[in-house]
Amino acid sequence: MASLLQKINTLISANMHALVDQALESNSVKVMDEYIRQSERNLDALEDSAATIGGTVKTLKRKYEEFAAASEKLDRDIDTLLRRGKQDLATAAQAELNQKQQLAQEYYEQWQTQEQEYRRMLDAKLKLEAKLTTIKQEREHLKALMELVEAKELTTKTVKSLDDLAGIGDEDVQRLGDQIRARLDREEARLEIATTDVRDQIDEAIGMTEIELQLEERRQRLGLSGGEDSGA
């Protein structure tokens, strides 16, 4: 799993300007085609892995909730047994309660760990899909630029990068080069914004889960039912 995410992060961090420059230097979009193939293969693998992890998250959450509910019932039963003077049964129930609480805690920790891993995978998928879309679009624009350069008989000039396009002197070629550069910059900025938004949402969701659990524990101690508004 770690190696897959590492591959995904490598693809995400690829410099789009460098890819365009390599394509211009070789006068071919093959380098971009290879990036697209690798990205699509790794996206398929990521989707399969994310589905597996997502299923595990649901299972762990369900197990946690089952043991947590059983622990709450046992906790109430122990109080009842003590009130009725059934010390032996209360002792046995307390031992069982301790075991269930331990299992509930273990399932909770595993659930949270896998949940974070699942969110990281979804985040990586979102970022790579966004970058892949941009590369596919710019591949077509770059191909059109190469055809224009050839049509204007500028192939005798060595065009190695977008920066070199600025010195060619042909307005149409310069304009297309500037448009490619501007789009790449804009899409990279959008990717940064999307990444920040997703990370904030994940942090907020995880934080709210912990707060809700803390409040539920406090309601149990105070004998309040969930969802009551004490200030009403």
119 against 165, higher pLDDT:
119
Closest of 140, 147, 131, 148 to residue 184, by C-alpha: 131
In the chain, the percentage of residues whose pLDDT exceeds 70 is 64
| 161 is a domain residue | yes
CA distance 9 to 12: 5
75-105 tens-digit pLDDT: 999 999 988 888 888 999 999 999 999 999 9
The pLDDT of residue 147 is 75
The pLDDT of residue 154 is 45
| 231 is a domain residue | no
| 107 is a domain residue | yes
The pLDDT of residue 9 is 86
Look at the chain and report how many structural domains it folds into. Answer: 1
| 38 is a domain residue | yes
| 89 is a domain residue | yes
The pLDDT of residue 163 is 58
For the cut 60, the answer to whether the pLDDT of residue 230 exceeds it is: no
For the cut 90, the answer to whether the pLDDT of residue 196 exceeds it is: no
| 17 is a domain residue | no
> Lowest-confidence range among 24-38, 99-113, 197-211?
197-211
| 217 is a domain residue | yes
Q: DSSP letters along the chain, please? A: -HHHHHHHHHHHT--HHHHHHHHHHHTSSHHHHHHHHHHHHHHHHHHHHHHHHHHHHHHHHHHHHHHHHHHHHHHHHHHHHHHTT-HHHHHHHHHHHHHHHHHHHHHHHHHHHHHHHHHHHHHHHHHHHHHHHHHHHHHHHHHHHHHHHHHTT-TTS---SHHHHTTT--HHHHHHHHHHHHHHHHHHHHHHHHHHHHHHHHHHHHHHHHHHHHHHHHHHHHTPPTT--TT-
With 0.75 as the threshold, say if the pTM is over it.
Answer: no
Closest of 60, 217, 39, 205 to residue 128, by C-alpha: 39
CA distance 22 to 211: 50
Q: What range defines the domain where residue 43 resides?
A: 2-8+22-221
24-64 tens-digit pLDDT: 788 788 999 999 999 999 999 999 999 999 999 999 999 99
141 against 224, higher pLDDT:
141
| 15 is a domain residue | no
Residue 5: which pLDDT band, with cuts at 50, 70 and 90?
confident
> Lowest-confidence range among 89-98, 118-127, 161-170?
161-170
